[in-house]
Amino acid sequence: MFAKFILFAVLAQLACAQQPSFDVLVEFGTNFSTLAFDTQEEINELYVFNGDMIREFNRELLLELGRMVPAMREADADLQQQIEAADGVDDECREYVQELRELFLLFQNWDIQDCAYYAHVELEADSINRFLPYAITFQSENTRSISQVVQTLARRNAYADFDGVVEELDGEWEYYQTLAVSFSDFLFDEILAHAPVADRVYLRLSECRETALDLQLSDQEYILSYLDDNCL
């Protein structure tokens, strides 16, 4: 029991003797943790901003498709009425024209699918590859900063070269501060870079929609031409 008391007293004296050094390490640890927390908060805000941008772009594309599909359905309904109301057409011809219409409906549906597919592929590639990989890398590096003091102590001889430990931590502190600013600006620029891609995708989708509508009109004119001479 007495030996344990002596050992405890010796350790307490050593701790008191090294208290200034320990305070420096605690200060570094606190600074690294505070910086990591503040940086993570900013990253989270950028994640939300990035998600909002992508959702808005997808909403705009959906609205464009939402104009496309009803317009084509309305045009098809009008075509059916013209087929049914055509004069001088026997049942056999009318049935053939309806079958022809159904065949061309397949082509028109493929046009819609193609428009949606290419818009989705382009926007998805931009959504996945532009912001997220860098944000994930930044998050990992930012999280690592929390344990920087422990990492430094694990590879340096703090007993023999405490000044070297402090010097390394000073360098790491400057690195993480620079990283926080540079990556924050970089991630923000990545989010803004979504816009030109979205504009290009939206323009191509609009052009695709117009082309699909023009093709549908051409198809319908061809189908109706069979009614002119009772499919002869």
Residuewise pLDDT in 10s, the chain (232 residues):
433 333 333 334 434 444 456 688 788 888 888 888 988 899 999 999 999 999 988 888 888 888 889 999 999 999 999 988 888 888 888 889 999 999 999 999 999 999 999 988 888 888 888 899 999 988 888 888 887 787 777 776 666 777 787 888 888 888 888 888 888 889 999 999 999 998 999 999 999 999 999 999 999 999 999 888 888 7
Write down the pLDDT at residue 222.
92
What tokens were used for 222?
């061809």
Write down the pLDDT at residue 211.
93
Write down the pLDDT at residue 79.
92
Our separate counts of H helices and E strands in the chain read 7, 0
Write down the pLDDT at residue 141.
86
How many C-beta atoms surround the C-beta of residue 110 within 10 A? 12
Measured distance CA(179)–CA(138) in Å, rounded: 8
Measured distance CA(20)–CA(35) in Å, rounded: 23
Beta-carbon contacts of residue 75 (< 8 Å; ≥ 6 apart): 213, 216, 217, 220
Measured distance CA(196)–CA(130) in Å, rounded: 12
Task: Residue 220: name the closest of 113, 89, 112, 103 by CA.
Answer: 103
Measured distance CA(201)–CA(95) in Å, rounded: 40
Domain boundaries, the chain: 22-231
CB 131 within 8 A of CB 50: yes
Write down the pLDDT at residue 18.
47
| Residue 187 burial (C-beta neighbours within 10 Å; 0-12, 13-18, 19+) | buried
In terms of pTM, does the model score above 0.85?
Answer: no
Write down the pLDDT at residue 62.
87
Beta-carbon contacts of residue 231 (< 8 Å; ≥ 6 apart): 89, 92, 93, 96, 97
What tokens were used for 210?
């117009």
